[in-house]
Amino acid sequence: MGKKKFKKGKSKPKKGLKPESVAFELRLYIADSEINSRKAVDLLQKFCGQYLKEKCSLTIIDVFQDYKSALEDNVLVAPTLIWLKKDTPAFLMGSFEWQDLFDFFGLSESRGGEK
């Protein structure tokens, strides 16, 4: 599977989107077609499309195709989601659910995904 970039569920970045406008730069490490990895990809793509929208840049990395990137990012389990924040990256490891993503990003589901 290798590295794949997704923007709002598409494979090409949205034109005119400047790097400064991306508030959520994410990397999702997966293990090929393993069930938790497939679930994480589907869930995160839906979440990004619904709540993070064009402010999200998602890179999906298969550890079987690119284990060196996983080692560089200190990833030990798949799936692992990394939010590349300015100060310190945030990690969400293992299988996760919808509410885990709200908590991870500090968003409120009852307020339509707002902080």
Kindly report the CATH number assigned to the domain that includes residue 88.
3.40.30.10
The answer as to whether 80 is a domain residue is yes
In a domain, 1, yes or no: no
> DSSP per residue over 31-76, as a string?
-TT-HHHHHHHHHHHHHIIIIIGGGEEEEEEETTT-HHHHHHTT--
**Is the residue at 81 inside a domain?**
yes
Whether 63 maps to a domain, the answer reads: yes
Specify the number of domains making up the chain: 1
The answer to whether residue 56 is domain-embedded is yes
The answer to whether residue 6 is domain-embedded is: no
Tens-digit pLDDT profile for residues 30-71: 999 999 999 999 999 999 999 998 899 999 999 999 999 999
pTM of the model: 0.78
Look at residue 57 and tell me if it is in a domain: yes
Q: What is the pLDDT of residue 27?
A: 97
Q: Is the pLDDT of residue 113 over 70?
A: no
Two structure tokens written together for 113: 């995904």
The mean per-residue pLDDT over the stretch 12-35 comes to: 74
For residues 90 and 104, is the Cβ–Cβ distance under 8 A?
Answer: yes
Q: Is residue 15 part of a domain?
A: no
Query: Mean pLDDT across the stretch 62-83?
Result: 96
Task: Please give the residue range of the domain that contains residue 103.
Answer: 22-111
